[in-house]
Amino acid sequence: MAQFTLPADDPLRLRDARADIENQSKAIADNQLLVGVLDSYPGLVAVLNRHRQIVFANQAFLHFFGLEKPQDILGKRPGEALVCKNAVAGEFGCGTSMWCSSCGASQAILNCQEQGKEDVQECSLTHAVTGQALEFRVKATPLPESREGLLLLYLSDITDQQRRRALERIFFHDVMNTAGGVAGLSRVLGKEGLPAERKGRLLAMLQQNAERLVDEIAAQRQLTAAENNDLVVAAKPYGTMECLAWAASFYSHSSLCADCVVEIAPASADLVLVTDRHLVNRIVGNMVKNGVEAVAPQGAVRIGCTDHGEAVEFWVSNDGYIPAENQLHIFQRSFSTKGAGRGLGTYSIKLLGEHYLSGRVSFRSDPEQGTTFSFFLSKGTV
């Protein structure tokens, strides 16, 4: 991905000095009526200056982020207060990285400033320390009668609401598709006079669909437990080739792979790890599934494992290309290039691989080399 550089004269780089911030904050604090109204509001509210810096935050805002006094947050921009991982990615802070151009909070604030009227957006971010996915509904509106271009920023935490909605959509989408296949095969098998050879093939397909149905239910249960911090990691010896063979076999016989093939790289490392086989299978399986869904008809998805000394790399590659604008959001929950009702596959890879197995998940994608997802995992005990 190309390096992002903010032009030297871009106003997004500018900030007010600390003394100016404190004067702006004092002016608001002296308006007891305004402070009383904002503090009585149960939602999260902050007042931003012309450079998107916080000059006031109500009590609900401070309590949500575990802050004791307003001074702890003065001068910060919203992403910095929220500890968004992209807020530290830009040289000049929140709003200046390549990811910020598509951030809902950034768009709402800039639209409000440019148009002088209320704007509402939704914002998804990842906490830089905990890795937690957070989602907010953001409303930016001009502060009435403000001569300094101040605006009010309202944040509504919709993380749980969006998580439940996404889990339900994807669960019912995947399960109903697989259950429909089981039902259809059962009806065909119920017909009389089927040749023995065809009946045997149908029985094998029925078994595969039934196993996939159980796998989809287990995947949703596992992801829900992971997001609730209830997932228990059980580390035992597990072979890398055993994992690759499972993934290749499972998806080669899946209806998703009717027009493609899954190939194991011949030079793949054959090692024994001490890890949770079910989580590793889920991670590698999701990488393969993404590859199968992205590859062109009659194409190939290549999977393998590389020995890097203290760690191994499970990788999945295909010839498809992820557009640059989509690459910015690839690990966000609920983001998908496949349409509505998708978007937990890559998110769960990141959550399970890094938060629970202490590994590292990454990807690279360009038009010439295609796309490769990688999962680096220590050879030792998780």
DSSP, residue by residue, 154-167: EEEE-HHHHHHHHH
Beta carbons of 248 and 264 less than 8 angstroms apart: yes
CA distance 137 to 105: 8
Q: Which residues of the chain have pLDDT under 50?
A: 1-3, 335, 339-343, 382
**Domain 233-382 homologous superfamily, CATH:** Histidine kinase-like ATPase, C-terminal domain (3.30.565.10)
What separation in angstroms does the CA of 7 have from each of 14, 16, 89, 220, 371?
12, 19, 16, 44, 30
Beta carbons of 46 and 79 less than 8 angstroms apart: no
The encoded tokens of residue 63 equal 């309590």
The encoded tokens of residue 101 equal 């151009």
Pairing of strands 370-378, 360-366: antiparallel
pTM of the model: 0.57
Q: How many CB atoms lie within 10 A of CB 288?
A: 28
CA distance 21 to 132: 30
CA distance 274 to 335: 32
The encoded tokens of residue 10 equal 């871009």
CA-based nearest residue to 332, from 173, 20, 122: 122
CA distance 48 to 66: 20
Residue 317's SS3 state is strand
The encoded tokens of residue 120 equal 């509402």
CA-based nearest residue to 128, from 89, 100, 162: 89
CA-based nearest residue to 288, from 268, 313, 325, 261: 261
CB neighbour burial string for 158-173, b if at least 16 within 10 angstroms, e if fewer = beeebbeebbebbbee
Beta carbons of 188 and 209 less than 8 angstroms apart: no
pLDDT (0 to 100) of residue 3: 45
**Domain 11-157 homologous superfamily, CATH:** PAS domain (3.30.450.20)
Q: What are phi and psi of 151, to 5 degrees?
A: -140, 155
pLDDT (0 to 100) of residue 102: 80
CA distance 251 to 301: 10
Pairing of strands 236-239, 261-264: unpaired
CA-based nearest residue to 104, from 139, 128, 53: 139
Q: How many CB atoms lie within 10 A of CB 265?
A: 14
Same fold, 11-157 and 233-382: no
Residues 6+ apart with CB under 8 A from 244: 264, 268, 284, 303, 304, 305, 314
Q: Where in the chain are the domains? A: 11-157, 160-231, 233-382
- Digit-coded pLDDT (tens) for 229-255: 778 888 899 999 999 998 888 777 666
Q: What are phi and psi of 92, to 5 degrees?
A: -110, 25
